[in-house]
Amino acid sequence: MFCGQCFKKFILFLIMFVLIGIPNPLNAQEDSTMITSVGTSKDVQLELNSLKTVAIFLNGANPLTTRIIEDALSIKLLQSGFVVISRETLEKTLGDQITKKKETKEEGSVNALQIGQLVNADAIITGTVIVEESEKLLLVRIASFQILEIKTEDLLLSVLFEGEKGRSFSETAKRFVDILNESGK
C-alpha cells in the first residue's frame, strides 16, 4: 500500500503524463492509429461497479458531429448494460433550470453535475472531441473523456485518445467503453 505522500506523487506523475501527452507505458496502449492514456482514482473498481445510470455531456467544434459522437457513445454504453439518460431529457432539464434561474433572478450558471443530479444519474461523462475529415470520412483525431461520480463529484476515470490518423466515432466509443469496463473489474 502507498503512503499518503507517495500516493500523491504517483497521482501527480500520472496527471503530468496525461496533460503533457507522453504515454505512460503502464497505462497507455497504442493501436495502428491512436495512443490511449488512462488515469483512474484509487478506488475506481469499487466506484465504477456501482454506476448504472449515466448522462453524457461532450463538447466539440461542430455541434452536429459532437451529437453523433454522443450517440455512438450511448449505443456502446447501452450495449454494455448501462442506462443512458436521453439527450432530450438532459436538454429539457437544462432548459428548465435556466428558466428557473431567470425567473428567480438567481446568479450563476447551471453545470453538468447539477443536471446529472436532477435526472438521477449515478455519473456524468464529460469530454471534448476534435474531429477531422479524411478521405470523405469524419475521424476522431483527439478525444478526452472523464467520468465523474454525481454523489461525491470525484473524477473516477480520465481517458485521452490521440493519434495522427484518427479513429471512427464508433471505434472511439467502443474503446472508451472497453476501458471503462476493464477499469471496473
Q: Which amino acid is residue 128, in one-letter code?
A: T
Q: What is the pLDDT of residue 119?
A: 94
In this predicted structure, the answer to whether residue 56 has a pLDDT above a threshold of 50 is yes
Query: Cell 438521477 identifies what position?
Result: 120
> Domains (ranges, CATH) in the chain?
29-183 (3.30.160)
C-alpha cell at 163: 493519434
Range name among 26-30, 63-67, 179-183 with the lowest pLDDT average:
26-30
Residues contacting 62, CB < 8 A, separation 6+:
131
Range name among 10-24, 92-106, 158-172 with the lowest pLDDT average:
10-24
Query: Residue 157: beta bridge partners?
Result: 40, 147
Label residue 99 exposed, middle or buried (CB < 10 Å: 0-12, 13-18, 19+): exposed
- 136 compared with 26, residue with greater pLDDT: 136
Mean pLDDT of 170-181: 89
Label residue 110 exposed, middle or buried (CB < 10 Å: 0-12, 13-18, 19+): middle
Query: Cell 480520465 identifies what position?
Result: 158
Q: What is the pLDDT of residue 127?
A: 94
Q: What is the pLDDT of residue 137?
A: 82
Residue 150 in 3-state DSSP?
Answer: coil
Residues 137-151 have pLDDT tens digits of 888 889 999 999 999
Q: Cβ of 33: how many Cβ atoms within 10 Å? A: 17
Range name among 10-14, 34-38, 115-119, 120-124 with the lowest pLDDT average:
10-14
Mean pLDDT of the chain: 79
In Å, how far from its chain's centre is CA 12?
20
